[in-house]
Amino acid sequence: MTIDRSERTEHTVLIAYASANGSTAEIAEFIGERMRDKGLHVRVAPVSENPDPARFEAVVLGSAVHNGEFLPEFAEYTERHGLALRMRPAWLFSVGMGPALRGPLGAPLRHFIPPAIADIRKHLCALGYRSFAGVLPRPDDRRTRIIVRLLGCRFADLRDWPAVSAWADSLAIWIDARLPQAPFPAVREP
Ligand X SMILES: Cc1cc2nc3c(=O)[nH]c(=O)nc-3n(C[C@H](O)[C@H](O)[C@H](O)COP(=O)(O)O)c2cc1C
Q: What is the binding site for ligand X (CB under 6 A)? A: 19-24, 64-68, 95-98, 134-136
Nearest-approach distance from CB 73 to ligand X, in angstroms = 12
d(CA 70, CA 151): 20
Burial class (CB in 10 A: 0-12, 13-18, 19+), 58: buried
Nearest-approach distance from CB 37 to ligand X, in angstroms = 23
Smaller CB distance to ligand X: residue 6 or 67? 67
DSSP 80-148: HTHHHHHTS-EEEEEEESGGG--HHHHGGGTT---HHHHHHHHHHT-SEEEEEE-B-PPPS-HHHHHHH
Asked if 93 and 59 count as a contact pair (C-beta separation under 8 A), the reply is: no
d(CA 160, CA 23): 12
Nearest-approach distance from CB 188 to ligand X, in angstroms = 46
Nearest-approach distance from CB 23 to ligand X, in angstroms = 3
| Amino acid identity for residue 91 in this structure | W
d(CA 34, CA 56): 18
Query: Within 10 Å of residue 186's Cβ, how many Cβ atoms?
Result: 12
